[in-house]
Structure 1
């Protein structure tokens, strides 16, 4: 590379997304296009780094993080912290070993997904690439940092002469390639990671480190540092703090991912025990990051110090204190929701949060999604980084399918692998998309959102109940959530989300839906159990689920129906008494008529002269969505019943289309996504016009940027005041952050849909979120782009 100027890597997060990006390998002296051998005659030695040699007798200093990592980019530091922390996490290594050695590797699809996942995590961190062409970029990066490389083509034991001969060719090619790069490491290598029992011994008693002892001895003996007969070496990706001082090489394995897996498993297993260097590296890297990533200045007008039970709350500081793994839970004993094991929540001790004191935006302020600084002003740097990593992982090809395959595999039947899987999920997708395992943990997220100017829609993560016992247990959870929200005041929690399938078995909902559909076809059918309700069907509604008159309800079914309705009434009673609105989640079209019936009956019974307390969910991907909503709204107006709707796009498209195809009928779903967008916008416009006339309420739950902007602009045109509680926006927690903060900054009321509950219980929700995230490129990509922009701005400032 004669004549090439070597620059230190710039401290920019160019390595994102997933915190790593490969340079153009065509500029590499090792580059070997497919089907071509390496032309060693074209290679040239690297120039030596030009950094002045240290003065004689300079000791090995592991305290100055800035000097230690001066040649390491910020992106590389962040990725190193995350990977080393993940490798040292309880259960992660065992889980990886279990999965790699399981039957999943025998399936071509799951094998491909597994290898891709490994490649973008541990492989990228501990290995140099799939061939010499890729390993060259690491060799150059190390050389620019003042380090050398020990090239190791990742081969395991050979079982026959043919394999031995093939391996011989690889070793010879590696030697020939290295030969043309100039001088090579030789003679004595002290390959040490500073192994000893605890971090305390290394940190508090530096002379006991093998590396420091050897370095000090060399100085005492007068061995010059440029002497090639003394060199140190550590594994690539580990013991970074020990790698700067004397002549040092990094042990750099390379080769195809699958071939190097045994090496990776050993490195991960080793990293668990190498607390002395892995922990030290992470601590020093975080120290260096805190020098690099500075918090943006916060004006006095933006400071917010609410008092809760005598406790002062501050905005999260823009420091990477949240590491390791870029998240740290505060002491939950200070939480007003905190419920120690065996104790119930003491509601008498809770105190409502005051409203954030940031001045309201001027009338007519547009929704601005371009100013990353303003959008993420209340989000810590650690949270931004973790969000980028998680959203990128969720959108990666194969990751979601792999997660679904693993969760539904036999691994979940083994107590050990099940425990490891749940721990891995908890520290990745669960932490990003969920609010915690119970109300005590969800409270910290509610407060964090409130401090950021957002509200929370609390959803205890319950799936379908199959019997009355499960329904009663779920009822208790819903009631406790409402009672807890009630004592926080009117604003931090905007809604409590209720799933009818959690308090009424789906089989019974199917039966009730059959009766309602048949009664819509045959007006003479009498339903003695039916209560007053609003219109459920439009002329465009699908009725193909019920092809014949259903048999009468049995006595047991009538009893179960009475119990289910009683559970909903109990929930609504607590909602009405505490003035905590509830929103009823939608399901697929086979049981949605029964859910509409329950919801509208409850809204009629618990009507008030003020704003509605019971909200139904309308799915805009259904062809009959607008017709059903308009009919229900008109009927409610004539009855004097305040009615509210949560408007969403829908979540059961695949199953709905599959069923319609099997039955040979037209799908109830719009043909195109554009049709769904148009339906959502029409429904939103209708409800906004109703609100402008002083009637109705709507929650516009959308991740679509254009729909959000359009609704906000129409609300302004119609003169709807931004403090009007009858118009709210909502997005899922952990997604569409830019849209949420953009709407909030424009003065609108915005909530984040916050599920919480035990990890295993919430897994179905997580899988849906991950599946959904793959398709939501418009918001997920924008979020990641704006987050990277804001991190870069903070680094530069």
Structure 2
């Protein structure tokens, strides 16, 4: 605590970096105790050990989120003015639509050094924390002193042309064993006997550039295995940065498409969805088999009634417990680095009366690529566990997501045995979002692991709808914005109800939820539901998250009131985060009402400081995050 108080002032915080490295860097993270994160606090001196703990500073929360002083007390007057100017520029349709061209033009006119200075004084300075893991420390420390914790993301992106992006995606989404003339048939005919045609799991050149109509999510395009290894190093650097600067409370976000060949995620996703179709064909129920409460004996009888024989080996591999079947396949093996995909996924076909393979033949090299991807994920999560930080696996397109979620859930089962290290992300604009969360909660309960869940609205709506219409499959997106809000609230309520049930039974908090939303109504809904169900901020099972530079009027009042509040913190060299900055400008164009409110609050705060003679105000946070 003495150390934290010594860095409370903004100008003192900036002195933490000496020769690019913070003086506190080598002390190691001071781990914050919590029932959910299950960390332990330790101190560096005996004086601190004997010091009587003080009650953390907390402000009352105004859920109208209309208090400019509470929203911006962490900012200098220059930063408030800069934010106002940035949002004003984001309100210009011309500037937003041509932002990348204008940034490149500015760079060519003024040169790299002056361009970097301009960007740091405007967009980069507002939306990005710094160039590397050392230069972001002052920002992280200041956020912490105002009750806010970080989710780190190294936001460097390749500036690929559409042609190059399409070329990479097509080449990395088709199996090596397919002949040239059969390249449009991504799966064997026998798989189609279970569930019929599934065009969504075939690569489509029209949509091969996965950046199409996507504003708020970064896209990785597979180049080779060496690039994936480099991405592992980058993510590990994020993990070390967040551990060294956040005292065991930070999070790092990763994407699985950065760690392996997309073809493997496509094929695995199709296997999962065909397995669900198989469940429907056999027992008539919808969705995952875990929700059917079906015993292994009942499954055997239904297969026999359908005329399918010789199912002994299949039934021996079914994962079950006293309540019934959990999985048709031994998914726990998928996270073992010796797993063989070619041998794993066979089910009895009711049409053909024999065992059929649900995955197309993979080459030995592709099998090795899959094992490499699993090894990389294991490496990152092991590192996170050793450093006592959390790792969030981002959601991606629906044709990848079944595989991403399955791998993530199995990683939870492996690593979330004492606390939640791994979090999965659920996109509530999907029609199946509630069912997916409910199914995964059930698996966590029956297999006894901690469940980590980040709820978002979703980042790929326009792309998903256009792709579904073009390829002829059902639109996976909710029909309206209101339907998505309803889905979000319904899903959040289910999670909170499970937390309440655990609390009533006196069990430890084994569910953690991040409400990742810039929507005031959703945040208010979450707070109200917490009160109704009896979940306190101090229980540390619910947290809130927004992007750095956006919706400060939500994040900071939450953190200062004692709620677990996070900022999604991008960092990286100026020239290499231009695609990220371009997306932020585009995203702000789409939420003009929020920009309007943020600008109003910013100008109000500027006026308040002028009236009170606080133009040279220096942020001096005394808050401690939960």
Tell me which interval the TM-score lies in, with the shorter structure as reference length: 0.5 to 0.7
Identify the residue that residue 656 of structure 1 maps to in structure 2: 464
Identify the residue that residue 109 of structure 1 maps to in structure 2: none
- Asked if 1:396 is matched to 2:92, the reply is yes
Among 439, 450, 466, the alignment partner of 2:223 is 466
- Secondary structure at the counterpart of residue 754 of structure 1: strand
> Structure 1 residues 670, 423: CA separation in 2 closer, same or farther (over 3 Å shift)?
farther
1:6-21 equivalent positions in 2, closer than 5 A = none
**CA contact under 8 A between 1:367 and 1:746: conserved in structure 2?**
no
> Structure 1 residues 506, 429: CA separation in 2 closer, same or farther (over 3 Å shift)?
farther
1:738-777 equivalent positions in 2, closer than 5 A = 738-777=553-592
**Aligned mates of 1:423, 1:372 — CA distance in 2:** 28
- Asked if 1:604 is matched to 2:419, the reply is no
Identify the residue that residue 249 of structure 1 maps to in structure 2: none
Q: TM-score, normalised by structure 1?
A: 0.53
Identify the residue that residue 138 of structure 1 maps to in structure 2: none
Identify the residue that residue 527 of structure 2 maps to in structure 1: 712
Among 328, 333, 337, the alignment partner of 2:18 is 333
- Secondary structure at the counterpart of residue 426 of structure 2: strand
**Aligned mates of 1:415, 1:469 — CA distance in 2:** 36
- Secondary structure at the counterpart of residue 568 of structure 2: strand
- Asked if 1:509 is matched to 2:265, the reply is yes
**Aligned mates of 1:667, 1:413 — CA distance in 2:** 42
Deviations 1:365-399 (A, max 9, x none): 55352322233223221111111111221232122
Identify the residue that residue 141 of structure 2 maps to in structure 1: 447
Identify the residue that residue 521 of structure 1 maps to in structure 2: 277
- Secondary structure at the counterpart of residue 242 of structure 2: helix
Displacement of 1:489:
5.1
**Aligned mates of 2:224, 2:111 — CA distance in 1:** 29
Displacement of 1:724:
2.0
> Structure 1 residues 495, 673: CA separation in 2 closer, same or farther (over 3 Å shift)?
same
> Structure 1 residues 329, 315: CA separation in 2 closer, same or farther (over 3 Å shift)?
closer
- Asked if 1:348 is matched to 2:26, the reply is yes
1:115-194 equivalent positions in 2, closer than 5 A = none
Among 445, 455, 480, the alignment partner of 1:672 is 480
Deviations 1:178-218 (A, max 9, x none): xxxxxxxxxxxxxxxxxxxxxxxxxxxxxxxxxxxxxxxxx
**Aligned mates of 1:692, 1:724 — CA distance in 2:** 11
Displacement of 1:347:
5.3
Displacement of 1:401:
1.2
Q: Choose between structure 1 and 2 for higher RCO, CA contacts under 8 A separated by at least 6 residues.
A: 2
Identify the residue that residue 87 of structure 1 maps to in structure 2: none
Among 68, 71, 80, the alignment partner of 1:384 is 80
- Asked if 1:616 is matched to 2:429, the reply is no
1:47-86 equivalent positions in 2, closer than 5 A = none
Displacement of 1:636:
1.1
> Structure 1 residues 388, 533: CA separation in 2 closer, same or farther (over 3 Å shift)?
farther
**CA contact under 8 A between 2:130 and 2:571: conserved in structure 1?**
yes
Deviations 1:121-160 (A, max 9, x none): xxxxxxxxxxxxxxxxxxxxxxxxxxxxxxxxxxxxxxxx
- Asked if 1:723 is matched to 2:510, the reply is no
**Aligned mates of 2:494, 2:235 — CA distance in 1:** 31
**Aligned mates of 1:562, 1:630 — CA distance in 2:** 29
Among 423, 427, 438, the alignment partner of 1:630 is 438
Identify the residue that residue 332 of structure 2 maps to in structure 1: 531
Displacement of 1:782:
1.5
- Asked if 1:590 is matched to 2:399, the reply is yes
**Aligned mates of 1:697, 1:520 — CA distance in 2:** 27
**Aligned mates of 2:268, 2:22 — CA distance in 1:** 38
Please list every run of 5 or more consecutive structure 2 residues that lacks an aligned counterpart in the other structure. Answer: 33-40, 42-52, 157-218, 280-310, 318-327, 336-356, 503-509, 613-626
Among 390, 396, 400, the alignment partner of 1:581 is 390
Please list every run of 5 or more consecutive structure 1 residues that lacks an aligned counterpart in the other structure. Answer: 1-304, 322-327, 339-345, 535-547
Identify the residue that residue 192 of structure 1 maps to in structure 2: none
**CA contact under 8 A between 1:612 and 1:643: conserved in structure 2?**
yes
- Asked if 1:564 is matched to 2:373, the reply is yes
**Aligned mates of 1:783, 1:414 — CA distance in 2:** 32
**CA contact under 8 A between 2:384 and 2:391: conserved in structure 1?**
yes
> Structure 1 residues 574, 553: CA separation in 2 closer, same or farther (over 3 Å shift)?
same
Displacement of 1:335:
6.0
Displacement of 1:498:
1.4
**Aligned mates of 2:388, 2:334 — CA distance in 1:** 22
> Structure 1 residues 422, 365: CA separation in 2 closer, same or farther (over 3 Å shift)?
closer
Deviations 1:505-539 (A, max 9, x none): 333322332333333334699999953589xxxxx
- Asked if 1:692 is matched to 2:500, the reply is yes
> Structure 1 residues 533, 473: CA separation in 2 closer, same or farther (over 3 Å shift)?
closer
Displacement of 1:687:
1.5
**Aligned mates of 1:489, 1:754 — CA distance in 2:** 12
Q: TM-score, normalised by structure 2?
A: 0.66
Displacement of 1:334:
6.6
**CA contact under 8 A between 1:623 and 1:668: conserved in structure 2?**
yes
